[in-house]
């Protein structure tokens, strides 16, 4: 463990007192706090806070080795990055967008069903239409609501991931730059190059091959000298891939499954109720339909119905349409409670996952600070911190 890197970020030497550390952190934190106009910078503030947290944690754990996982994420860092505020804003917008989409979908569904009902040529056709079309239209509306709200949550999760990536991107890029600049003393890289050099000498210089039968056998294996270099190249490629800022990033993981199970059982019951109830209201149309199939009998029966009920086919269509609209609105209200409940639970889950992701990435930054002083300095330079030495602190 090398705390010199953490002190370096704060512009101090390792001999700085606790008061000097606190004073330097507060001065730099006031300058780079994200809320400060002009000089505010989230990445610099995170790096400063990580360095300060490393020093404080090391001071409290003098007798045990310090691990990056031991360093807690300061509450003020989470607050300063605006994670909570952004999440609340995103989900407020999600609920607003969902409600607007729901209202538009509800209006278009009502219009579609009204046109379907008005196109019925007889009471029997009206009853058949209601029994079959209402349930299918309801299921399609539910499917569209499911897909839309899921897409809103997925978009919010993607924006959250993007936001966190930007917070740590430059710091992770600095880790990759440090590794590239320190390749010349990496034992695996240097060992691979030396191994290839020595095997090449043994293969092409007879006097070396004569020293040992194993060395002499290298001449019969011309590919062998390139094996150590190939291994080093493979190691370097894998390391570079792993040090890509996107691959270093610890992402939040959010499941958008569950909305289907959340609403489908309720929706099925509502759809069946809609069809049965509205079809029951249109049942008298079957009798009126007899007029079209049997004119003489229908005329007599239809006349009696008209005499006692005074309801003809247009009036029946109007009544069925109004009844269906009322039941549809009640069904959507029930469904709406389930969907918004699911959205609320996803918000809580995404918040927990975001904090966990931030903590994981914060831990990687603290690990970089305690790896060695050169790594910490590279981080500080990359984040463009205006480091001030102990003399300036005094």
Which of the given ranges, 70-74, 156-160, 207-211, 279-283, has the highest pLDDT on average? 156-160
- pLDDT at residue 264, as a whole number: 64
pTM of the model: 0.70
Where helices occur in the chain by DSSP H, the ranges are 4-9, 18-32, 42-60, 75-81, 83-118, 123-181, 187-204, 206-209, 213-216, 226-242, 245-248, 259-281, 284-293, 295-309, 313-371, 373-382, 390-393
Look at residue 242 and give its three-state secondary structure.
helix
Q: What is the largest CA-CA distance in the chain?
A: 124
Query: Which structure tokens are listed for 181?
Result: 């600049």
- Per-residue pLDDT for 374 more than 70? no
Q: Is residue 296 within 8 Å of residue 346, measured between CB atoms?
A: no
Q: Is residue 25 within 8 Å of residue 10, measured between CB atoms?
A: yes
- Per-residue pLDDT for 293 more than 50? no
More confidently predicted of 126 and 114: 114
Of 16, 9, 94, the closest CA to residue 47 belongs to: 9
For the chain, the structural domain boundaries read: 4-83+359-393, 182-248
More confidently predicted of 246 and 261: 246
Burial of 23 (C-beta count, 10 Å sphere; 0-12/13-18/19+): middle
- Reported residue count of the chain is 394
Give the C-alpha separation, 144 to 147, whole Å: 5
- pLDDT at residue 227, as a whole number: 87
3-7, 96-100, 120-124: range with lowest mean pLDDT: 120-124
Q: Is residue 61 within 8 Å of residue 68, measured between CB atoms?
A: no
Query: Which structure tokens are listed for 11?
Result: 């512009």
């Amino acid at each position: 463990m090398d705390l010199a890197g953490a002190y370096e970020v704060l512009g101090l030497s390792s001999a700085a007192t606790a008061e000097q550390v606190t004073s330097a952190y507060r001065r730099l934190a006031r300058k780079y706090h994200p809320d400060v106009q002009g000089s505010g910078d989230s990445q610099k503030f995170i790096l400063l806070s990580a360095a300060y947290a490393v020093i404080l944690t090391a001071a409290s754990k003098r007798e045990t080795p310090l691990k990056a996982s031991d360093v807690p994420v300061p509450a003020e860092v989470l607050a300063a990055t605006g994670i909570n505020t952004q999440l609340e804003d995103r989900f407020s917008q999600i609920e607003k967008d969902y409600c607007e989409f729901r209202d538009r979908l509800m209006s278009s569904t009502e219009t579609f069903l009204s046109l379907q009902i008005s196109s019925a040529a007889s009471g029997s056709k009206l009853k058949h239409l209601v029994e079959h079309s209402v349930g299918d239209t309801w299921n399609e509306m539910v499917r569209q609501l499911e897909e839309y709200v899921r897409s809103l949550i997925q978009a919010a999760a993607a924006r959250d991931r993007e936001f966190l990536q930007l917070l740590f991107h430059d710091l992770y890029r600095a880790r990759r730059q440090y590794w590239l600049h320190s390749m010349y003393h990496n034992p695996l890289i240097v060992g691979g190059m030396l191994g290839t050099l020595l095997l090449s000498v043994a293969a092409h210089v007879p006097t070396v091959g004569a020293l040992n039968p194993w060395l002499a056998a290298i001449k019969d294996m011309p590919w062998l000298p390139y094996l150590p270099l190939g291994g080093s190249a493979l190691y370097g490629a894998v390391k570079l891939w792993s040090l890509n800022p996107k691959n270093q990033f610890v992402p939040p993981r959010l499941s958008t499954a569950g909305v289907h199970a959340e609403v489908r059982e309720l929706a099925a019951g509502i759809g069946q109720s809609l069809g049965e109830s509205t079809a029951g209201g249109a049942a008298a149309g079957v009798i009126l339909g007899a007029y079209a199939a049997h004119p003489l009998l229908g005329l007599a029966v239809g006349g009696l119905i008209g005499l006692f009920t005074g309801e003809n086919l247009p009036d029946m269509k109007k009544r069925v349409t109004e009844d269906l609209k009322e039941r549809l609105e009640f069904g959507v209200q029930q469904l709406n409670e389930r969907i918004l409940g699911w959205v609320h639970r996803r918000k809580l889950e995404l918040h927990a996952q975001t904090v966990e992701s931030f903590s994981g990435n914060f831990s990687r930054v603290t690990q970089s600070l305690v790896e060695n002083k050169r790594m910490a300095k590279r981080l500080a330079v990359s984040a463009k911190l205006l480091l001030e030495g102990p003399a300036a602190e005094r």
